[in-house]
Amino acid sequence: MSNILDAIKGYITPELISSASSVLGESESGVSSTLSAAIPAILGGLVSKTGDSNAMSGIFSMITQTNKQGDVLSGLGSLLGPQNANNPFLALGGKFLGSLFGNKTGELVNMVASTAGVKKDSASSLIGMAVPMIMGFLGKKVASEGLNIGSLTSLLLGQKSNIMSAIPSGMVSSLGLSGLGNLSGAQSSGSTSSESKGGMSWLLPALLGLLLLGGALYFWKGCNPAKEGQEVVENVVTDASKKTEEVAKAVDTTAKKAVEATKDAANGLWANLGKLLGKKLPNGIELNIPENGVENKIISFIEDKTKAVDKTTWFDFDRLLFDTGKSTLKAESVQQLKDVAEILKAYPQVELKIGGYTDNQGNAANNLKLSEERAKAVVAELAKNGIDAKRLVPEGYGIQFPVADNNTEEGRAKNRRISMRITKK
């Protein structure tokens, strides 16, 4: 049986740790230690509630709902920013943190922070990011393996010893998890039916996802907790509000430095894209996208019957990043490409040309090759998200068609871009 803890931690990449470290002002080792303490602790909290059949049913439903909302695992880094406070992945699990830990909600944050040696608000933020990560993992597993409540319970109950051994010793008793060692497949005080036997293991991941997701909402948005932990959660939410402002400043500072230091930062990545909108697509999928972002622009163009397809109307991606001098997309880019893929799924008749551009620095031939490779990388990522590559045509233009003055750094940053043109709608 594969180790679920290891599988979940596999999504915590060096790039993600580095990004979180920069945003939160913590060391990379502190970020790593925080996640290593939080994930098993939350899993333990989930296991401790497996005897509640009503909780199991609701949690399993939320896990499957998470999977239907999209692949959150491909854009974890974006969850650290305060601009995503209304993210549906965060909202979905908010109510679980209070119901699982009650008045120990604040203790969870304090214990994780103390164990990892980080600030309490940093621990809150990282737990908030971990919530949708865990839910996304469980949602994928349920969908790919056709698991039901009972089979997921059995799977996770088999991981109990791994989870128990990974929880920092001081946190077990403080969080009321000492009784986990007594849990088994058959509840000693419950029904002997196969469903009651399976109830505990599915709750482990379900509550894992939703507890962490609950953490996200408590620590980022401040949703309604269980009555028992109301006062504690309100305090955490107050702390999170202060942290939101700090993180916003940190993100802005980091972004500005990156524009100056990297040649491949996409134009407008940190521009003011407006408030998040809930945009419902024709196929029922709802996206949370910036008001002035490229996703909203192409949807408007597609739906406007008065706008004809032509060869001059291009839309610049506004949140794409590549490794310097390479065609490797950074993790921060994945969410926007996932959104565009969902749009293409909702409008199956639409076809795109993806254009890559560079500034005029360096060798023109190399720039042309790089622009083409980056355009192809975008196409590959869209295809990875379920779009037929036949609907997508990549092309590199190198230093051609600048949109700004190459004599200034600001202008060169605007010229280093990836754009798309709708060729059929």
pLDDT profile of the chain (425 residues), mean per 10 = 80 87 88 90 78 73 77 75 62 67 81 90 83 82 85 76 84 78 46 35 45 49 44 47 47 42 39 79 91 94 95 93 90 90 96 96 93 97 94 96 91 94 96
**Same-domain status, 243 and 282:** no
> What are the distances in angstroms from CA 417 to CA 344, 359, 372, 378?
21, 9, 12, 12
Pairing relation of β-strands 392-398 and 417-424? unpaired
**Same-domain status, 315 and 227:** no
Domain endpoint, select from 257, 281, 301: 257
CATH number, domain containing residue 304: 3.30.1330.60
What is the pLDDT, as a whole number, of residue 165? 86
What is the pLDDT, as a whole number, of residue 419? 97
**Same-domain status, 336 and 371:** yes
**Same-domain status, 275 and 251:** no
Closest CA to 48 of 223, 217, 222, 211: 211
What is the pLDDT, as a whole number, of residue 201? 40
Distance CA 223, CA 234 (A): 9
What is the pLDDT, as a whole number, of residue 38? 87
**Same-domain status, 190 and 285:** no
**Same-domain status, 271 and 360:** yes
What is the pLDDT, as a whole number, of residue 102? 75
How many domains is the chain built from?
2
**Same-domain status, 152 and 295:** no
**Same-domain status, 165 and 269:** no
**Same-domain status, 159 and 123:** yes
Residue 258 tokens read as 């990156």
**Same-domain status, 249 and 266:** no
Domain endpoint, select from 257, 278, 296: 257
Residue 316 tokens read as 């610049």
Q: Which helix (H) or strand (E) holds 276?
A: strand 276-280
Domain endpoint, select from 198, 228, 257: 257
> 158: how many CB neighbours lie within 10 A of its CB?
14
Burial 211-222 (b: 16+ CB within 10 A, else e): bbbbbbbbbbbb
Q: Residue 229: what are its φ and ψ, rounded to 5°?
A: -105, 20
Q: Which domain holds residue 12?
A: 4-257
**Same-domain status, 281 and 419:** yes
| 3-state class percentages of the chain: helix first, strand second, coil last, to nearest 5 | 65, 10, 30
**Same-domain status, 253 and 266:** no
